[in-house]
């Protein structure tokens, strides 16, 4: 009986440890629609987004590219210094939100500047 309790305790502890390590390894993705609804709340912050790749582009001369990433809530352009992923690929990427460009102090558009792609 005591051996059975010990075995159950070990199994229970193993399950708890597995859940803790799994949770630590998972980064929470921000919904693209939330970013677009209030870009100033996310500007300059590191965050993760997940979605499906849409249009892509690469400028060889400056070794920069961009791709659209969309989830069920919206799409955003991602600026990258590595070749863009393939169209229709599901990916996760990390980066900083910033305005696409500013004219006379007014910001237009929102992009994510990629720092890491999973």
Smallest Cα–Cα separation from 114: which of 59, 54, 64, 55? 64
Q: Within 10 Å of residue 103's Cβ, how many Cβ atoms?
A: 7
Phi-psi group of 109: left, alpha or beta (phi > 0 → left; psi -120 to 50 → alpha; rest → beta): left
pLDDT digits (tens, 9 = 90+) for 73-96: 999 999 999 999 999 999 999 999
Under 8 Å between Cβ of 56 and 84:
yes
For residue 30, the SS3 value is coil
- Domain residue spans in the chain? 29-117
Length of the chain: 118
The fold for domain 29-117 equals OB fold (Dihydrolipoamide Acetyltransferase, E2P) (2.40.50)
Alpha-carbon distance of 114 to 53, in angstroms, equals 14
Low-confidence ranges of the chain (pLDDT < 70): 1-4, 7-9, 12-27, 102-103, 105-107
């Amino acid at each position: 009986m005591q051996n059975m309790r010990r075995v159950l305790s070990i199994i229970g502890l193993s399950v708890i440890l597995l859940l803790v390590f799994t949770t630590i390894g998972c980064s929470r993705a921000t919904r693209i629609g939330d970013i677009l609804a209030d870009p100033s709340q996310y500007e300059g912050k590191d965050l993760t987004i997940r979605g499906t790749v849409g249009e892509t582009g690469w400028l060889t001369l400056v070794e920069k590219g961009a791709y659209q990433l969309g989830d069920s809530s919206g799409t955003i352009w991602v600026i990258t210094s590595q070749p863009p992923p393939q169209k229709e690929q599901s990916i996760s990427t990390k980066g900083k939100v910033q305005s696409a460009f500013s004219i006379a102090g007014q910001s237009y558009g929102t992009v994510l500047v990629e720092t890491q792609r999973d």
